[in-house]
Structure 1
Amino acid sequence: MAQQNKNQPDEVEVESEENEQGKDIEVDEEELPSAAAAIHEQIRQDGEKELERDSMALLWSAVAAGLSMGASLMAKGIFQVHLGDIPGGFLLENLGYTFGFVIVIMARQQLFTENTVTAVLPIMHKPTGSNFLLLFRLWGIVLIGNIVGTGLAALAFNHMPIFDDATRDAFTHISEKVMANPPAEMFANAVVSGWIIATMVWMFPSAGAAKIVVIIMMTWLVALGDLAHIVVGSVEVLYLVFNGSISWHEFFWPFALPTLAGNIIGGTFIFALISHAQIRNEISQKAKAEAAAKKRRAEREKQSAENSQS
């Protein structure tokens, strides 16, 4: 029955040595060369599961994540209105930025920047054309779903009778601050943001019950640095689009394209590559040692069989 399910047209499977051998990825730290290797393999296992998920499930989860990210703008705007100029207000206001991330990650919704490291590790492990297609499929679906969700949140904030004028003005002020950066700065900020989010994902396997603390700590840092994030930023910039302050063209440039490129480079080509490189040789050496041990066992068994026959 399991083999029949694998042959269904809607099923996808990541190409990996473990899948070819019918095994699971080893994530037990005691069976791996180092703690870093155990973290890497845990994240690679999670990445394979995400790459193999059904397209519609991915899309709806991504739309939900985009909507949830509206909580970051909402909390930050409400804090700004009520904190005013009190000492420490800047710190508390930016704490509101973390709300959307907490909801999305704890609810296991699909967030684009989280996938820039999680889903990339299986491809780095086995960079085949099929695996790259699965990665681009995941990224495309999740990014589209996130943008749709953020657009719905921005529309609701603009047109539903939820917030007073002071809060709407705060939303506008926060969003205009995002658009104040030229494309080069938007890109540079997004590289750092992508790297921080990737670092956060790398910390999850060893975070345990402190996972929510890790989320708040790392995303609060993104907010304090006024760094660019493609999903949270889309809520903010689309708010300006829907209230007529800027055009759709300005959403894509100077915001979306530089920010998207920076997040991908920071999370994938910097963090994920370095993280993969540090354990690739360890895992390779372990695989070679296991293969050599298997070969020696086979030779001993063959020799023993020949001796018994003689």
Structure 2
Amino acid sequence: MSQQNNVPAGIALMLAATVVFALQDGISRHLAGTYNTYMVVMVRYWFFAAFVIALAARAPGGLRAAVRTDQPGLQILRGVLLAAEICVAVFGFTVLGLIESMAVFICYPLLVAALSGPVLGEHVGWRRWSAIGVGFIGVLVILQPGMGVFNPWAVIPLISALMFALYALLTRYAARRDRTSTSFFWTGTVGAVVMTAIGLWFWEPMSQGDWIWMALLCVTGASGHWLLIKCYETAEAGAVQPFAYFHLLWTTILGISLFGEDLRLAVILGTTLIVSAGLFTLWRERAQG
């Protein structure tokens, strides 16, 4: 089935996805601040796995088609890497806050560009390398190493961004031989198995009110992924990807209004550099595509 290219609808879907993912971040911070991170991510993955299995069952060929791959090792590695990245990211929310965590994490497209050469053998020209350098200057502005007030926890979102960039690159590599539905199925099911094996050891009783928040977390996780899938079916990725940066705006609003976080000048300046460099990189990829 040929892909549509309804850009206004694609932008609307991307903006909706960023709102949902920001809500997911806020709920994750609330729950992981009270309960063990592994348990929170485990329950979230149970719902995610049920969601991808239901999608696969309804698709042509059913579950048998979804699970079929000749690169199971790669698919398992992707699933494990994403589950680990989510744990690191959620832990970062609890120790660093939503705003500063997301401000650093959004450098991941630059990491994807930087690593696409050694990992995928893609050509990265000097213009994109310059943009990557500007973006990492922005990261340094936010982290402020050597300023005497450097918080060692601030490297957590950078680690999370690196893990997510590797996951994205492995997903690109897997797409050379597997369908998107196959990669999506393995992502959800492998993550659920891994997190169950870990999370059950950290089970804690949860209040009735927080079970409602947990249900909302599960729903936002599944609905956010569904919105992204529909977004990329509706419009070309290059046209809608710049609007993914609105995720940072919504997260900042949540951090300030609900969690009492501060927006430092260094975060504003650093984020401006990162977003500008990221948009330039996306533009170069689209121009060369």
Q: Quick check: TM above 0.5?
A: no
Q: Which has the higher contact order (CA 8 A, sep 6+)?
A: 2
If you compute each CA radius of gyration, which structure gives the higher value, 1 or 2?
1
TM-score (norm 1): 0.31
